Amino acid sequence: MIPQKYIDNLRTNYDGKFVGDARHRFAVGDVGFLLELTPATGSPRLELRDSPARTQDWTDVLFGLIEGKTNVEALGVAKVTEVAKNGRGKVLTLWGPDMEAALNDLGYPEIRKDEFTVEQGFVSSDD
């Protein structure tokens, strides 16, 4: 499982942020996987997707960084709490039973809750 310090950091940095663009219109209550995509040239952007981040060998990742031409940081699951006039959604990260319910609703109840690192693969705070 993810250490409380990591959870607090994600809440501080991502709760209340807006995700999406004009291509996707959110509704209050939508849930998804919160991802930060950072291309090699360009600005990072936050997205809320129906499927989790995946490694090159198709391993689903809930938390952690996957490096590539576009780095993908998996930030857990989030829920849209407000929608701007342009359709962008303000998100709140989900934890505990709310996270488990969202993962079940998204069809990924079995996804690992440990952090993924490039060097070590999945790292459990219980190790």
The pTM for the full model equals: 0.89
Distances (CA, A) of 44 to 35, 36, 122: 10, 7, 24
Average pLDDT estimate for 98-116: 92
Q: Where are the domains of the chain?
A: 4-108
**94 in Cβ contact with 79 (< 8 Å):** yes
What digits encode the pLDDT tens for the residues 29-65? Answer: 999 999 999 998 889 999 999 999 998 889 899 999 9
